[in-house]
Each structure stands twice: as structure tokens, then as C-alpha cells.
Structure 1
């Protein structure tokens, strides 16, 4: 089978490119699929004429992990093109990628499908006081950034002064991008990797151990935690996988995960972040339909970590994602159209 890998390869370590993948990750994906017997071509979407490369290579399917560079629709660009070209691809479609990146749209869809999530408020301006029905503490985030960008240790605020300072800083730093304020949930936090469609395989749950952060740090997986304090050279022992869960909590997590995946119309694979509220109830923080899959275990990449705990090495994980994608109804329909056209 011919597989194209659509991606963005990180050219430097600046914050601008932090959502992009390092070449080592792309190389590991390429090697994995070659070892599985496939013919592979890497398409760096920042440097290539994507449409021309796809037409020349004529892939049977595209393994898509292209993040794009800017704007709230950046992750949808490649899937939109592939839909236009009638080319099958792994992962969610354009609408899901837009809705998952925009935190307010995610909340609205979760509310529509009665999936528990924190109270939220969207604003285009810095806030001098809390919206009605909110109490401190709250957490402030940019509306459509990923990889913990803009989620600083100081983003958890406890008073009006810090509310204004942080909200003003975020709007300024991210070029007038709106912000979202969420009630800050104080319970345990988990991230859950899933593979599937109608039948979801929920991989072992990963728990984030905030006790491993510096003593003065807020209990969040902030930008500092992800990119400064937790490094490959000095990894924090911040994740437990599988998490220690009683039967009731495990069942609740699995139910919420399935409902959230369905609410945003995710396909094939995703990673979903959860946190318990003060009553111990599971809430969805956000969904990531383009999860990171760094191959090096020292990098603390949660999707491969969960896969390893389930007994899948990197190659088997890639194979499972591919086989899942080939069986989803969107790709099977594309393959039927392609076969009909060729006959």
C-alpha cells in the first residue's frame, strides 16, 4: 500500500513551531510503515505543494498529522484538500478539527450532547472582573492554541488583578486572539488515548502527577511543565500509566470518553483530557484529534505511552491506526468511488 505522511516538520525550537513534529517523529512513522511492507512518502506541508505531491504520488491513504501554522482553521487545511481529491486519510475530518481546536466550540458541542465539562466564558477583551456565576479560582487560555501554548503556570488566577493581567497578556501575545475563562477544577487529571470508530478501543488511562512539579507551581500541565521543566534530558516522573482507578471511576471515564468522541464526530484516533471536579465527577477539558506520537519513551508523549501499556509497540500502534482508518465509512466510500472510476 502507498502511504503519504502529511506533516509539518519543526524547523527550530521557537514557540511558533512547537505544535509541529520533530523530524525524528516523522522518520519513525516512515520507518514503521516501511517495516510493515508499505511504500511511504513524506510531504512537509510547509515546504511542499501538497496537492501536486498527492497527485504525483497517488497514495492509497494519507497518514495526516499536519498541524498548520496559524488561524483557527489551520488543522483543517489538509483534510479539506484530501476530501476534494477523494483521497482517504487517517483521523478526523475538517469540521471536527476546527471544533476541537476552538475551545469554546468544543464546550458548546459537549454541552449539546450532555457531556460534563467546566463552566466557561469567551472574551475578546481583557477582563477586570469575573463573569456572572463564576467563582475563583479560574484558568485562562487562548481560544485556539495547542501544545499548552498560552497555558502558563500563572494562568490559574485567584483575584481580579491577576485576571486582568493574565487575560491582557494572552490577548496581546497571541495577536488579539480571544481568550476563554474556565472554572478551575481541583481534582485528579487524566489523559486518555482512544482508537476506533463505532467500537472504541480505550487505551490504559494516563494520570498526571502534579506532585512532581516544582513546589510553587500550580497543579496544571502548563507550558512550563511541558516544555521547560519536563525535558528528554531530565524527564519529570509526572505520568502514571495505567492510572490507579477503582471500577466506578474507570467506568465513568470510559463512558465520558465515548460520549465526547461522538459529540465532536471524531474519527479513528484521538487523545482526550479529563479532570475531576470537587465532587469527584469526570469532566472533559479538551479533545485532541491530532495527538502527538513522539517515539522516544523519555519524551513523555502520552499516546505512545498508553499504547505501550496496552502491549503495542510503536509499529503495532501505527498499524492499528491505519487499519482502523481503512475501515471507517468515509474512507471505504472514497475507495469505492476510486475503484468505480478506474473500472
Structure 2
């Protein structure tokens, strides 16, 4: 089977990843395919996932040597980085535990070890922790005492904040992102308390826990939705958990809970798009619905952030407005888009633009105009 013939260039990575996650499928034979997919793999920072999966299957040697070397070099760098992050995470968790501060690590190195099978099988850049809202001041004070003294500017209406510290021999500070929720509360009925109630004690800690497998999957899906599946990393996170848990994932319970939380459409959108990219997931755990959603999501748009076409805008508005279960939540989301907070306004505009609502609306209008002008 020729990847170059059966798929357009823009779909080559997805087809390649489908073959990686199916040991019975043939890997491509054309060197040109590997020259293209390695660029995409590195763009999305998924080299460690691909390297470890192929190595685990004994199929790495079936790929060209230059491809193997690029994957391996990145894997080694991630191993060094994640080893450092693991030690830093353990220091924080031990400190919290001694001070009787409850916390739950999110994603990160522990997630890589458990669900991907190796410390370096998934890259991560910071430390994410879930804490209880009433402990926020104590957590910030504690982190500052152990060196995380740089306060990041965060949106006042969001559900997380960040502290960082300088790292020797590195131009990039180490950041701890503190979460007291996993999404904004004004567009759902979600309550984080359920995550805490079913969390499992972590190793020998008294006050540190880990999310249950069920809530890990729930959280990863919501995290992917929040980013509108803008990276193949989200796809592999969800795919890896499904492969790891198999039939343990209870989709009936998932959608019962999503209905209570008014998040059914978010779950359907996320899983529909992932299952379309990786249809073999149906052989592991079939989706409990037939009406596929998110039809305008396109790989080209996440590979090229400058791409502007009608499908980009259709997908964005589908995500922005129609991801919500209730008219009230849709209205809130639309109002926040029309008149974002000053923080979100600054995030959406380029840094060299004057931060104003007039410039925001001008940017949006001309972006849409250009997409219609060059409509094919």
C-alpha cells in the first residue's frame, strides 16, 4: 500500500499513526513518506510516543535509519527532561504531604509512566497539580518557599494559576500549573468534588492521590476539547488510554455523567473526531452513539496555524457555540467571544498589535473575508 497514492500529503501522518497503533498493519516503504511524517511528528512533539510504540512492537528497525535516529535522539532528550521533572514533582508532593495539603498530579510524568508505559514515552514541559480551592493560598505560599517565586499572569476568571522558577543551564523556567478545576464553571454543571471522591491514594503518601482511570479518561477528553483538538498529542493521549483500559472504559457511565454535567456535546465532539482519525478504536470500545459530530475539523488547520478557509471558521463556530448542551451555556460562550476579558483579548491579538477590541474585530473580519475571497 502506497501512502503517497492513497492519501493526500495532509493526511499522511494520520495514516502513518494508524499503522503504528495497529501492529498487523504494514508500515510505509517509501522514504519520502518518512521524510514528510518526521516533520509532522516533530511539529506536534510526539516523537517519544512513536519511538516507544514502534520499539515496543519490534518494528522500529523496519523504518529508515534517519527516521530511527531522529526519534531516538528526541526520546533521549525527553528522558533527561522527564527524569528531572519527576524529581521536581516528587519534591513538591513530599512537601505537600508533610504539610497535609491534598493534591492530585495531572498528566505529566506519572501519566506517561502509567498509560504510555515509560517515563519518556510522552513529553511534558511543566508540572500540573489539582488542589482544593480552599488550599490555594497555602499552596502558593508553599511553592514560593521552595523556589517557585515567579508568578505568571493568568486570566482572573479561569480555573488555574501558575508559578515558575529559574532552572540552571536552561533558558526556560520550570512551571507548576495549579488547578482547582478542569474547566470554567459558568458553561457546565460539572463539579470537581466527584474526582476527589473517587481518587486513589498514590504510593506511600497520606494526602496525595491520583485520579481513577475513569476520571483520567474523562479529564483527558475535556482537556482535548478545551484545546479544540489542536494537536495530535491530544489524539494519542485519548487513543493510548483506550488501548490501555480497553473495555474497562464505561461509555454508558461516561455519558450519564456528561449529561448531569451538561457536557454531552463536548464528549461527543471530542470522541467523534478522534474515532474518525483512528477508526480501529471501534474494535476495542465502540462509541455508544451513531450521529458523528465535529464534521469540519481538519488536520491541515492544526498543522498550519495560518490556514484560513471556510471549514476553519465553520469548525471554530461549531466548537465555540454548538459544543454546549444548553442555550444558556451557548449564550455565555458567545458573549465571552464577542467581548472577551482583557486577558483573553491580549491572548488572541498578536503581541505587536495594539490591545483593543477594535483591532480584535478587525482581525476577525479580515480573516473571514480572506477565507471567503479565496474560497475554492
Q: Same fold (TM over 0.5)?
A: no
User: How high is the TM-score relative to the length of structure 2?
Assistant: 0.27
Between structures 1 and 2, the one with greater helix share: 2
Between structures 1 and 2, the one with greater strand share: 1
User: How high is the TM-score relative to the length of structure 1?
Assistant: 0.29
Q: Which of structures 1 and 2 has the bigger CA Rg?
A: 2
